[in-house]
């Protein structure tokens, strides 16, 4: 019964959203046929298939109709708008590429009515979906009861998760929460657990999570068979809170349970491919449309103000701690002290044009060639000089984690106000923490967001850029 309500609601949501997207396109086509913009007939005939394909791509990428997304209101709202705006970007990109008159976006009533309808639908439908989700739990006649046995830090966190995702379960809490019993050997633990399983069966509990230290569990098969006899699902959760205070990330490799210190999306080959395609397309566009004319202009200004090469190259630390030549427009006089010394405010080594380049971050533009060659990424932790990598690695334990991914032209730390000179180790620790946050939370949307924030920060002016 609980699954029937669950999947019926998911299917209804998916159908309603698809009908709304198609109806919005039909509305667009009806108004477009009345306008004198010069729409291409073949172009208009393909609009509905393009709408369907772009929407399917968006909801698939953001996993909008997954159970754990749809029934977590925060995730559902966030991913709904992400999918909507992604579909809009894809849809309008198609028009910009194949329609001659790109000014339609500003002058077309068809576009205005379509956007208005879709925004109204998404606002209203998400409110209605929220109301329905709140009522679904009351429609389930026979509740699926779930409980936890074992009171420790891990079980408390698991209980919090189950409580926040209990639309289709009746979560009873931690059964031995008020018990003061402490187990010192496997025999005492096994007897207590066997008794707990028997009692849980009498209370009609359908699923029991058993959270305990790994060394207390001597015979899983015995307990699984005991649970099967009572028609109860048993799930064992190892408690590692006594080993480490940090949160682990676990996965499975065939029959092996693998525990990792953190989740890294870019360990997935598919995600790396997406990021690489984004890097290549973005860097090619910048090189062709911006650097093609900006490079010679900046080169002339650099040459007129000081002798030396246009580009400054320096060995930096890249992915997997491998070294590579990082390129920048030269912003300092040649042979003016130690190149490994960080630039400071009012640094006498910086040329007049160099001050402008550094303040606007234009000195970083040649690094798009590094991206194209595969040594860097558009977004990632900023690459450090080899000496600084060695120095900070001795003071910050997880410093090298930032080198699990390619370094970037811009990064989360830079748009968070953590760029520039690091006078203290604590400054670098904050930057490293932010870089690791990026490594653990990567997504294509995150990269696009950081790129947009970089443009905004650059236009506003960054006090740490000097």
pLDDT bin (cut points 50, 70, 90) of residue 390 is confident
Q: What is the pLDDT of residue 31?
A: 79
Residues 6+ apart with CB under 8 A from 366: 291, 295, 311, 327, 328, 329
Mean pLDDT score across all residues of the chain? 83
Q: Is the predicted pLDDT of residue 35 greater than 90, yes or no?
A: no
Q: Map tokens 């496997």 to a residue.
A: 186
pLDDT bin (cut points 50, 70, 90) of residue 131 is confident
Find how far residue 447's CA is from the centre of its chain. Answer: 8
Q: How many CB atoms lie within 10 A of CB 21?
A: 23
User: Of the candidates 364, 317, 356, which has an alpha carbon nearest to the alpha carbon of residue 340?
Assistant: 317
Among 39-53, 275-289, 431-445, the range scoring the smallest mean pLDDT is 39-53
Q: pTM (2 decimals)? A: 0.66
pLDDT in tens, 53-64: 999 998 888 888
pLDDT bin (cut points 50, 70, 90) of residue 244 is low
Give kind and range of the element (H or E) at residue 9. Answer: helix 2-32
User: Of the candidates 41, 42, 60, which has an alpha carbon nearest to the alpha carbon of residue 52?
Assistant: 60
Q: Mutual orientation of helices 2-32 and 109-139 as an angle, nearest 10°?
A: 170
Asked if 333 and 322 touch (Cβ cutoff 8 Å), the reply is: no
Q: Is the predicted pLDDT of residue 406 greater than 90, yes or no?
A: yes
Q: Mutual orientation of helices 444-460 and 269-286 as an angle, nearest 10°?
A: 30
Q: Mutual orientation of helices 186-202 and 220-229 as an angle, nearest 10°?
A: 20
Determine the straight-line distance between the first and last CA of the chain, rounded to whole angstroms.
Answer: 64
Detail the DSSP E strand segments found in 196-352: 207-212, 233-238, 249-253, 256-260, 311-317, 323-329
Check the CA dihedral 189-190-195-196 and report its sign. Answer: positive
Q: What is the pLDDT of residue 337?
A: 55
Q: What is the pLDDT of residue 74?
A: 76
Check the CA dihedral 417-418-422-428 and report its sign. Answer: positive
Phi and psi at residue 187, in whole multiples of 5°? -65, -50
Give the tokens for residue 438.
């990026």
**Among residues of the chain, what percentage have pLDDT more than 90?**
34
Q: Is the predicted pLDDT of residue 212 greater than 90, yes or no?
A: no
Q: What does R_g of the chain's alpha carbons equal in angstroms? A: 29
The rounded distance, in Å, linking the Cα atoms of 330 and 370 is 16
Alpha-helical regions (H) of 245-286: 269-286
User: Of the candidates 18, 216, 201, which has an alpha carbon nearest to the alpha carbon of residue 122?
Assistant: 18
User: Of the candidates 375, 370, 353, 369, which has an alpha carbon nearest to the alpha carbon of residue 308?
Assistant: 353
Q: Is the predicted pLDDT of residue 99 greater than 70, yes or no?
A: no
Q: What is the DSSP letter of 394?
A: T
Q: Is the predicted pLDDT of residue 462 greater than 80, yes or no?
A: no
Q: Is the predicted pLDDT of residue 167 greater than 80, yes or no?
A: no
- Average pLDDT value for residue range 35-48: 64
Among 313-327, 361-375, 385-399, the range scoring the smallest mean pLDDT is 385-399
According to DSSP, the residues that pair with 257 across neighbouring strands are 252
Q: Is the predicted pLDDT of residue 366 greater than 80, yes or no?
A: yes
Beta pairing class for 207-212 and 145-149? parallel
pLDDT bin (cut points 50, 70, 90) of residue 1 is very low
The rounded distance, in Å, linking the Cα atoms of 318 and 243 is 32
- Average pLDDT value for residue range 345-374: 87
The torsion defined by the Cα of 131, 134, 138 and 139, in degrees rounded to 10, comes to: 60
């Amino acid at each position: 019964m609980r699954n029937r309500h669950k999947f019926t609601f998911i299917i209804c949501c998916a159908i309603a959203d698809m009908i709304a997207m198609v109806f919005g396109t039909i509305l667009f086509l009806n108004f477009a046929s009345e306008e004198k913009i010069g729409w291409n007939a073949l172009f208009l005939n393909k609009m509905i298939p393009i709408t369907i394909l772009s929407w399917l791509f968006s909801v698939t990428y953001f996993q909008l109709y997954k159970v754990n997304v749809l029934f977590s209101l925060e995730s559902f709202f966030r991913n709904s708008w992400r999918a909507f705006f992604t579909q809009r970007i894809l849809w309008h990109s198609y028009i910009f590429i194949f329609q001659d008159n790109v000014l339609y976006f500003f002058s077309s009533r068809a576009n205005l009515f379509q956007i208005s309808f879709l925004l109204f639908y998404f606002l209203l439908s998400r409110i209605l979906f929220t109301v329905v989700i709140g009522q679904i739990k009351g429609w389930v006649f026979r509740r699926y009861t779930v409980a936890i046995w074992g009171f420790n830090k891990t079980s408390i966190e698991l209980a919090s998760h189950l409580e926040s995702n209990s639309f289709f379960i009746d979560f009873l809490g931690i059964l031995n929460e008020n018990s003061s019993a402490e187990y010192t050997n496997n025999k005492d633990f096994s007897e207590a657990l066997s008794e707990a399983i028997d009692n849980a069966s009498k209370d009609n509990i359908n699923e029991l999570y058993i959270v305990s230290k790994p060394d207390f569990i001597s015979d899983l098969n015995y307990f699984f068979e005991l649970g099967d006899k009572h028609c109860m699902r048993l799930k064992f959760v190892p408690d590692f809170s006594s080993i480490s205070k940090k949160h682990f990330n676990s996965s499975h490799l065939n029959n092996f349970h693998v525990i990792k210190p953190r989740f890294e999306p870019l360990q997935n080959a598919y995600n790396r491919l997406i990021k690489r395609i984004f890097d290549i397309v973005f860097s090619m566009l910048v090189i062709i449309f911006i650097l093609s004319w900006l490079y010679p202009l900046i080169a002339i200004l650099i040459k007129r103000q000081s002798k030396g090469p246009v580009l400054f190259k320096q060995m930096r630390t890249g992915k997997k701690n491998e070294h590579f030549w990082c390129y920048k427009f030269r912003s300092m006089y040649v042979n003016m002290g130690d190149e490994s010394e960080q630039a400071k405010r009012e640094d006498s080594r910086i040329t007049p044009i160099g001050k402008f380049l550094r303040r606007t971050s234009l000195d970083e533009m040649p690094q798009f060639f590094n991206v194209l060659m595969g040594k860097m990424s558009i977004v990632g932790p900023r690459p450090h000089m080899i000496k600084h990598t060695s120095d900070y690695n001795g003071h910050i334990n997880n410093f090298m984690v930032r080198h699990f991914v390619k370094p970037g032209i811009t990064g989360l730390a830079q748009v968070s106000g953590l760029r520039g000179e690091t006078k203290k180790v604590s400054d670098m620790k904050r930057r490293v923490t932010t870089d690791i946050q990026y490594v653990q939370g990567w997504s294509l949307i995150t990269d696009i967001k950081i790129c947009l924030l970089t443009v905004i920060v650059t236009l506003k002016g960054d006090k740490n850029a000097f």
